[in-house]
Homo-oligomer: A and B are copies of this chain.
Amino acid sequence: VSKVVSNISISLDGFVAGPDDSPENPLGDGGEGLHEWIFDLASWRRAHGRGGGKTGRDDDLMAEAIEQTGATVMGRRMFDQGERPWGDEPPFRHDVFVLTHRPREPLRKQGGTTFFFVEGSAEEVLTRAREASGEKDVSVASGQAIVQFLEAGLLDELTIHLVPVFFGGGVPLFASIDPRTPPLELVEAIPSEGVTHLRFRRAN
């Protein structure tokens, strides 16, 4: 069954980017440390058109997430920061819906990725993403989109990749989330090398 899922790396003190983030320093000071556990995984390298890389538990998790995802939703900020580094052949290889207040023409890239710039509620965007994802899951990327989908009660699963580092400041995942947001419950904790995967689902 198609689910709405999210995967995000955060610091021990709850930040998804370090202090002093800017267009030139998109992950903030030290922010790239949150993603180091990913860069060398075989499945990640494959998605980026490269060979080799580490296999094992982290790679299995990542491979499954990539394989299961049929469409991605992200905030405008993540798109703006990612567009250049993703290049001509972005790693998504499916439809990506970018939340924005300035809709524009879709941007078709090589390798199967098309970016759609959409306005509307989380429900409306999800309807479009579900059509695109078919039997597969819709992945909600970027902190901004995750909070929006959580508040709307639309996220089925959230996997937090907890990286053992303190930032002391930066972009918090849960800045001023609506306190009426349906709570999450922890389903599973998977310790690994340099990261712990905490799998949450919507509590009933």
Contacts and interface: CB of A to CB of B under 8 A. Distances in A.
Nearest to A178: B168
A196 interface: yes
A61 interface: no
Contacts of A174: 12-14, 166
Interface stretch (A47-55, A108-116, A180-188): A180-188
Contact of A189 (B13, B14, B164, B186): B186
A196 B185 contact: yes
Contacts of A188: 189
A177 B173 CA distance: 16
Given A14-B174, A174-B12, A184-B12, A166 B179 contact: yes
A169 interface: yes
A162 interface: yes
Contacts of A176: 168-169
Interface residues of A, number: 31
A183 B164 contact: yes
A191 B201 CA distance: 13
Contacts of A30: 179
Contacts of A154: none
17 contacts: A12-B174, A13-B14, A13-B173, A14-B14, A30-B179, A164-B183, A164-B185, A164-B203, A165-B179, A165-B183, A166-B174, A166-B177, A168-B179, A169-B176, A169-B179, A185-B196, A186-B191
Interface of A: 12-14, 19, 30, 162, 164-169, 172-174, 176-179, 181, 183-189, 191, 196, 198, 203
